[in-house]
């Protein structure tokens, strides 16, 4: 009986144990099913992340071309020395060999390697950039001896005209922490993006889209094989309105000067040349400009990084007399043929205002006053017009406002009036200041590009163009501006032709036998002089600025040229001769292009 009882107890226990085991097996099966079925994709993804790595394939950046298809910026191969640590068996020997070819201390290469220690081991690290062909050949020959040393080929941006197009095109720079924070889905560490000029404004179009390689790595992160490749999509080419031949000629003429040149088509606003001097070599930035070199550019006394065509503001001097002439012809009841006597100065509001010609111009009418650039005549016009009317006409010609060119950093300039004086200076406008503004002096400030837009309006009949650099940039909506009086337009244009083509006129140095140029010289004082002092006797930083603003052909304008020479002296001597050479370059080349077409 006891045996039967014990067998019964044992059977119950075994049954209970079997039931528990079944429950455990069911729970294990359910857990396994959950992992395999419900969460399988998640765990497969984790496993893949442990063994799969994505490596970026750099997209070639789009080229930048001039209006005739000539390369301004393109990509060229750059050869780098890379170390694949997954293939390295004797790293010290490899570094010693590389240092001998590169002519560098082994310690320097070890330092670079140490700085890149955080890079995953399946990714080759760069030891040296920009290898010459001889070094590339040496490393290639010794590849069997040092398999961990590889030659990597990357794209380097090359600016063909370098200094001559620097402010126009800009340059590339590595993305910053701020860029990565703002655009985490767009940029990766090490990407190079447009930092200035066209490269920055149209960066998204030029960049393209990087591709990627998917590679398998082992438990130590070493490369095993590539299993997938998504090719990169190259960036789009960008065709500019620039004429490279004219751009280079303008840059050559400004090489030893400080200033700017703007050339544009008055019919469309197409910018044909945009030069700021002094300049810099944007190719330096492609080679990763060092801190010391960058500081030298920033601290240079003539500020070569500044784009003087749009970022620097200057008094316009006598080129502003064009605005004054239109304001007088349309707003004053006066006969433009009536003469005013110039004796070398005006006395207005008990103050003497000098003419640039100390002996005076004698009797002059409006045409003569523009032709000889007589200050006394315009002193009297300024007194009659008043600052509010003058300011309104200055804005009508695009001064005091951004032109809308497709570049960043454009300054608005300054057109002063009574409201500005109260808001900025806290004082009312003084009538005597109007006399200075009437000849382009005082607080009025313009950029060379604004002067070019002003001249384009005179050339095309009064329409303000928006300058453009990308040839396919959509045109702006038409501006609703009061039309210029046709009679006033004809009279001013005739006077501007006289400035260049008649004897003793101030712009004779721009005259061409085969082409009628219309223009206006300007000489802007930098410091006020109580007594007249010859410009060459002043310190360089106190000498006058030189202007020449023009268009040609006078009766069918196709090109506007503005030349500005900082501290260059008289516009008739420093700026007008350069404009003549630019017209020769453009129209000779334009004829050749039309003939070829």
pLDDT tens, 333-379? Answer: 989 999 999 999 999 999 999 999 999 999 999 999 999 999 999 99
At which of 224, 239, 254 does a domain end? Answer: 239
Tell me the pLDDT tens digit for each residue of 51-68. 677 777 788 899 999 999
Candidates 389, 394, 400; CA nearest to 446 is 400
Which residues span the domain enclosing 520? 244-277+310-596
Mean pLDDT along residues 470-489 = 87
On whether both 352 and 371 belong to a single domain, the answer is yes
On whether both 545 and 454 belong to a single domain, the answer is yes
| CATH classification at residue 564 | 3.40.710.10
On whether both 232 and 256 belong to a single domain, the answer is no
Query: Does residue 295 fall inside a structural domain?
Result: no
Tell me the pLDDT tens digit for each residue of 503-556. 999 999 999 999 999 999 999 988 765 555 677 777 777 889 999 999 999 999
The pLDDT, as a whole number, for residue 48 is 47
The pLDDT, as a whole number, for residue 208 is 86
Query: Does residue 200 fall inside a structural domain?
Result: yes
Kindly provide the b/e burial profile for residues 78-92, where b requires at least 16 CB atoms within 10 angstroms of the residue's own CB.
bbbbbbbbbebeeee
User: Which positions ≥6 away from 352 have C-beta within 8 Å?
Assistant: 345, 346
| CATH classification at residue 152 | 3.90.1310.10
Mean pLDDT along residues 4-14 = 68
On whether both 186 and 137 belong to a single domain, the answer is yes
On whether both 232 and 248 belong to a single domain, the answer is no
Query: Does residue 193 fall inside a structural domain?
Result: yes
- Please, are residues 325 and 492 in contact by the beta-carbon 8 Å criterion? yes
CB atoms within 10 A of CB 589: 16
For the ranges 36-45, 142-151, 212-221, 489-498, the maximum mean pLDDT occurs at 489-498
Residue 42 has pLDDT above 60, yes or no: no
The pLDDT, as a whole number, for residue 73 is 97
Tell me the pLDDT tens digit for each residue of 231-290. 889 999 999 999 999 999 999 999 999 999 999 999 999 999 999 999 999 998 876 666
Query: Does residue 305 fall inside a structural domain?
Result: no
The pLDDT, as a whole number, for residue 43 is 42
The pLDDT, as a whole number, for residue 573 is 95
On whether both 256 and 173 belong to a single domain, the answer is no
- Percent of the chain exceeding pLDDT 70 equals 88
- Give the pLDDT band (50/70/90) at residue 211: confident
Residue 564 has pLDDT above 90, yes or no: yes
Residue 496, classed as helix, strand or coil, is: helix
On whether both 428 and 494 belong to a single domain, the answer is yes
Mean of pLDDT over the chain: 87
- Percent of the chain exceeding pLDDT 90 equals 58
On whether both 332 and 394 belong to a single domain, the answer is yes
Query: Does residue 38 fall inside a structural domain?
Result: no
| Residue 428: DSSP 8-state | P
On whether both 198 and 347 belong to a single domain, the answer is no
Residue 309 has pLDDT above 50, yes or no: yes
Please tell me the distance from the alpha carbon of residue 368 to that of residue 371, in angstroms, as a whole number. Answer: 5
- Give the pLDDT band (50/70/90) at residue 567: very high
Please tell me the distance from the alpha carbon of residue 296 to that of residue 226, in angstroms, as a whole number. Answer: 45
Number of compact structural domains in the chain? 2
The pLDDT, as a whole number, for residue 595 is 45
At which of 239, 258, 287 does a domain end? Answer: 239
- Please, are residues 126 and 288 in contact by the beta-carbon 8 Å criterion? no
Please tell me the least confidently modeled range out of 26-30, 102-106, 228-232: 26-30
Residue 140 has pLDDT above 60, yes or no: yes
Please tell me the least confidently modeled range out of 7-11, 160-164, 436-440, 477-481: 7-11
The pLDDT, as a whole number, for residue 29 is 67
On whether both 229 and 250 belong to a single domain, the answer is no
- The model's pTM is 0.84
- Give the residue with greater pLDDT, 26 vs 348: 348
Query: Does residue 294 fall inside a structural domain?
Result: no
On whether both 340 and 417 belong to a single domain, the answer is yes
Residue 121, classed as helix, strand or coil, is: coil
- Give the residue with greater pLDDT, 37 vs 72: 72
The pLDDT, as a whole number, for residue 349 is 93
- Give the pLDDT band (50/70/90) at residue 46: very low
Query: Does residue 35 fall inside a structural domain?
Result: no
On whether both 80 and 114 belong to a single domain, the answer is yes
DSSP secondary structure of 185-214: TT--TT-EEE-SHHHHHTHHHHH-B-EEEE
Query: Does residue 45 fall inside a structural domain?
Result: no
């Amino acid at each position: 009986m006891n045996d039967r009882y014990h067998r019964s107890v044992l059977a119950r226990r075994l049954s209970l144990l079997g039931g528990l085991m079944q429950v455990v097996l069911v729970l294990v099966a359910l857990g396994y099913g959950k992992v395999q079925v419900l969460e399988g994709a998640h765990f497969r993804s984790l496993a893949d992340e442990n063994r799969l790595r994505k490596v970026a394939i750099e997209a070639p950046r789009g080229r930048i071309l001039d209006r005739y298809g000539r390369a301004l910026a393109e990509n060229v191969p750059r050869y780098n020395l890379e170390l694949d640590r997954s293939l390295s068996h004797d790293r010290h020997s490899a570094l010693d060999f590389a240092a001998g070819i590169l002519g560098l201390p082994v310690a320097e290469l070890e330092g670079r390697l140490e700085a890149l220690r955080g890079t995953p081991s399946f990714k080759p690290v760069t030891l040296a950039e920009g290898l010459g062909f001889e070094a590339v050949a040496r490393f290639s020959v010794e590849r069997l001896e040092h398999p961990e040393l590889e030659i990597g080929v990357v794209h380097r941006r090359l600016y063909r005209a370098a200094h001559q197009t620097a402010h126009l095109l800009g340059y590339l720079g590595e993305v910053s922490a701020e860029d990565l924070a703002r655009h985490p889905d767009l940029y990766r560490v090490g990407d190079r993006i447009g930092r200035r000029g066209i490269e920055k404004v149209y960066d998204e179009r030029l960049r393209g889209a990087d591709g990627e390689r998917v590679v398998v790595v082992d438990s130590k992160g070493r490369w095993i094989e590539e299993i997938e490749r998504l090719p990169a999509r190259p960036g789009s080419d960008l065709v500019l309105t620039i004429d490279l031949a004219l751009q280079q000629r303008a840059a050559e003429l400004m090489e030893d000067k400080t200033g700017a040149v703007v050339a544009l088509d008055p019919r469309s606003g197409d910018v044909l040349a945009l030069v700021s001097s002094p300049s810099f070599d944007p190719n330096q930035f492609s080679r990763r400009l060092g801190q010391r070199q960058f500081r030298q550019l920033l601290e240079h006394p003539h500020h070569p990084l500044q784009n003087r065509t749009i970022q620097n503001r200057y008094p316009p001097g006598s080129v502003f007399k064009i605005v004054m002439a239109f304001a007088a012809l349309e707003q004053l009841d006066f006969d433009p043929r009536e003469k005013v006597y110039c004796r070398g100065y005006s006395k207005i509001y008990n103050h003497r205002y000098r003419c640039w010609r100390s002996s005076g111009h004698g009797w002059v009418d409006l045409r003569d006053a523009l032709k000889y650039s007589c200050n006394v005549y315009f002193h009297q016009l300024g007194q009659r017009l008043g600052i509010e009317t003058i300011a309104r006409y200055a804005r009508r010609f695009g001064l005091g406002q951004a032109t809308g060119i497709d570049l960043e950093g454009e300054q608005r300039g300054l057109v002063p009036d009574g409201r500005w004086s109260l808001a900025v200076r806290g004082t009312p406008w003084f009538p005597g200041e109007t006399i200075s503004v009437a000849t382009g002096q005082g607080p009025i400030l313009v950029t060379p590009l604004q002067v070019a837009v002003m001249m384009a309006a005179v050339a095309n009949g009064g329409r303000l163009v928006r300058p453009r650099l990308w040839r396919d940039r959509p045109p702006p909506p038409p501006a609703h501006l009061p039309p210029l009086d046709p009679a006033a337009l004809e009279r001013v244009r005739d006077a501007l032709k006289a400035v260049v083509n008649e004897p003793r006129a101030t712009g004779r140095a721009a005259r061409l036998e085969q082409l009628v140029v219309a223009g206006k010289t300007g000489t802007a004082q930098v410091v006020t002089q109580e007594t007249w002092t010859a410009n060459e006797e002043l310190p360089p930083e106190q000498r006058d600025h030189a202007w020449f603003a023009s268009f040609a052909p006078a009766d069918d304008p196709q090109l506007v040229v503005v030349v500005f020479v900082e501290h260059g002296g008289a516009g008739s001597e420093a700026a007008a001769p350069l404009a003549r050479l630019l017209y020769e370059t453009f129209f000779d080349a334009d004829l050749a292009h039309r003939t070829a077409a």
